[in-house]
Amino acid sequence: MRFAASQSGVVAVSMSWGGGEFSSETSYDGSFVTPTGHSGVTFVASSGDSGAPPGYPAISPNVLSVGGTTLNVDSQGNYISESGWSGGGISSVESQPSYQKGVVIQSTTFRTNPDVAYDADPNTGFPVYDSYNNGTSAPWSQFGGTSDAAPQWAAIIALADQGRIAAGLGTLDGRSQALTLIYQLSTGDFHDVTSGLPR
């Protein structure tokens, strides 16, 4: 991931790996920052497809953690409702970052995640056309998981950065800009998903 982040033109690094929290994890948080002399990079990680507790590196305060939802739309693709599909939780190691203070209510002292979510339920996820593996008679497959949600949020960050560059601005640094700006957005900019059980 450090190699990817240091490449010219890279603005987002998507990560779909992780494990349980550990006492020395804060010493690795510095791995998820924009490399010196590079334009802003946002590190994006899947929060995992199971319930609490949260995992690392998604719980790092330097990482945009992406959880999953079950998305319900009508036949025209219009939003109907959404419920929680994947878990997250409260860190037992990482202190609450400044961008969560006064916004997150689950803890006032420790980092919580995920920060954002995306349709990750394989039953409502996205279709993929694959005639190579599936043949031409039934080429469509349906996929999900937070490992699908994280790269899609990385793409959203890349699109935002493209607009910023067109406006003469720099690309977003994950910790100091992307995460801070997301937590400063109006609640009207998101669907507050409050139903569904952690898996």
Sort 1 into a burial class: Cβ within 10 Å, 0-12 / 13-18 / 19+: middle
pLDDT digits (tens, 9 = 90+) for 55-72: 999 999 999 999 999 999
**pLDDT, tens only, 127-166:** 899 999 999 999 999 899 999 999 999 999 999 999 999 9
Instruction: Give residue limits of the domains in the chain.
Output: 2-71+82-119+146-189
CA distances from 99 to 49, 61, 79, 184, 193 (A): 25, 9, 29, 8, 20
State the DSSP string of 103-143: T--S-SSEEEE-SEEEE--TTTSEEEE-HHHHTTTS-EEEE
pTM as predicted: 0.92
CATH: 3.40.50.200, 3.40.50.80, 3.40.50.2300, 3.90.1580.10. Which one for 2-71+82-119+146-189?
3.40.50.200
